[in-house]
């Protein structure tokens, strides 16, 4: 199970908090939630504090989102290692 909550929202930026496991059908649900924000040209950040597991499809989605300049924040060391992502929202170039 995964929960997606809007924790900050303005006309320029949205932060979604993710909790639980990003796997199976939840990957598609997350994709749709992100696309609804990105399609409006709004900056998107994902607070990953509560993410405990990501399957292969979820990892692929997060890589696509990073390529689209989505900010990944507050991932656990385990999740950050799986994603090869910095933990503070900065993108490695």
Cβ neighbours around 43 below 10 Å, total: 14
CA distance 36 to 32: 6
- pLDDT attached to residue 46: 97
- Domains defined for the chain, CATH in brackets: 2-83 (3.30.750.24)
- pLDDT attached to residue 87: 56
Question: Whole-model pTM?
Answer: 0.86
CA distance 47 to 50: 8
% of the chain surpassing 90 pLDDT = 77
Residue 85 clears pLDDT 90, i.e. is over it: no
Residue-by-residue DSSP string for the chain = -EEEEEEEE-SSEEEEEEEEEE-THHHHHHHHHHHHHHTTT-EEEEEEEEEEEE-HHHHHHHHHHHHTTPEEES--HHHHHHHT--SBSPPP-
**Which whole number is the average pLDDT over 20-36?**
97
Residue 67 clears pLDDT 60, i.e. is over it: yes
Residue 93 clears pLDDT 80, i.e. is over it: no
């Amino acid at each position: 199970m995964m929960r997606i909550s809007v924790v900050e929202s303005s006309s320029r930026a949205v932060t979604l908090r993710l909790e639980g496991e990003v796997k199976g059908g939840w990957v598609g649900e997350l994709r749709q939630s992100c696309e609804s924000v990105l399609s409006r040209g709004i900056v998107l950040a994902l607070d990953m504090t509560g993410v405990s597991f990501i399957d292969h499809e979820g990892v692929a989605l997060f890589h696509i989102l990073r390529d689209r300049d989505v900010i990944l924040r507050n991932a656990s060391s385990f999740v950050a290692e799986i994603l090869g992502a910095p933990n503070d929202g900065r993108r490695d170039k």
